[in-house]
Structure 1
């Protein structure tokens, strides 16, 4: 069944938007914002260009929505943390979720990185507003963990940046990593080894004992994520 016939059989807004977003993520990742066109995105999605405009409003609105979606995926695991949460479980989940999402959605991850490297022209308001507030609220809880003696008094902002950047490396520089390892792509065993290494270094660096049992890799869509 083609994409367009599937949409015609079940033309729900959610399904159409998901199809558009998937096509746009690929096109923007390959061509950048300026090189991408709504017509190419429409062709990739198997839809008329008018549908893209109807559901997304404009090229810029579609692009910003993709970027925001990527950040929400990455940070969802920290949404429900409280002063009573266990730092070992939370940080381990965050590391593993961020790593696996980079492998699952490489186009979105690379798209976000390209936007940041370009000076974040379409994300300045988001970075200075919503995301700044989000980081501040997570940092406040982590400082409470430190006050309770659950972890060392490290600056939570640098900790969040470290987890973002260290996990992102294996998506942005996947060709370098795979080349050095002598593989075409990272295997599930490689990703498990990377996760364990990052957990060991980051948690110990924060004065947090490693969890006795490995947590689920993440819950970005309501279900468990694995490296398989």
Structure 2
């Protein structure tokens, strides 16, 4: 029993340390980029010895890929609303809500992804060519099905997806600009609620789903 408790405790410590490292890495990579970030900077941000970072992640590239993978998986999970939804109102409406909430809670991860792609995706090109391409193709087919069923206007599904990404991730990638225009303050809970409702209404009405 004591051995089981020790293993469980060790696992909890590992999980906590990895979470601290990934949270610190998101912020450092977002602010300094892959080239400017160092394992020492990340260790300092996490409040851990540098040796601990190398225990969990052997190289900076391995840690960077884990940060990118984590935000990507969160984004993929946000699209679960597409799977069983009866139509675009429910699916796209829930997707907008989920993506904007991710921008609110994971702004640094979004900025890391945006910076990587804007620089030609030198580290994560394989994600774009495999998982993202497959995901986009699958969601585009589903949107086309709703178009064929007359549930929304005849538009290009891929451009709709690009618009959804650009709009929802704007609240993370350009968060400083939004705060500046909001009197130098982050959006309040009420303002986030209003933003989600506005974006949802604009897009769903624009595609003829409402």
TM-score (norm 2): 0.86
3-state secondary structure, aligned to 1:81 = helix
Deviations 1:74-121 (A, max 9, x none): 231223634763321111111111112111111112121221222221
1:32 deviation in Å? 1.4
Matches within 5 A, 1:157-172: 157-172=158-173
Q: 1:60 maps to which residue?
A: 61
More helix by share: 2
Q: 2:124 maps to which residue?
A: 123
Q: 1:93 maps to which residue?
A: 94
Change (3 A) 1:84 1:21: closer
Change (3 A) 1:42 1:178: closer
Alignment partners' CA distance in 2, 1:39 and 1:175:
26
Matches within 5 A, 1:59-78: 59-78=60-79
Alignment partners' CA distance in 2, 1:10 and 1:31:
34
Q: 2:181 maps to which residue?
A: 180
Q: 1:147 maps to which residue?
A: 148
1:14 deviation in Å? 2.5
Q: CA RMSD in A?
A: 2.0
Alignment partners' CA distance in 1, 2:125 and 2:198:
33
Contact 2:30 2:111 in 1 (8 A): yes
Query: How many residue pairs were aligned?
Result: 201
Do structure 1's residue 20 and structure 2's residue 21 form an aligned pair? yes
Q: 2:3 maps to which residue?
A: none
1:149 deviation in Å? 2.1
3-state secondary structure, aligned to 1:207 = coil
Alignment partners' CA distance in 2, 1:25 and 1:11:
24
Do structure 1's residue 134 and structure 2's residue 135 form an aligned pair? yes
Alignment partners' CA distance in 1, 2:179 and 2:18:
34
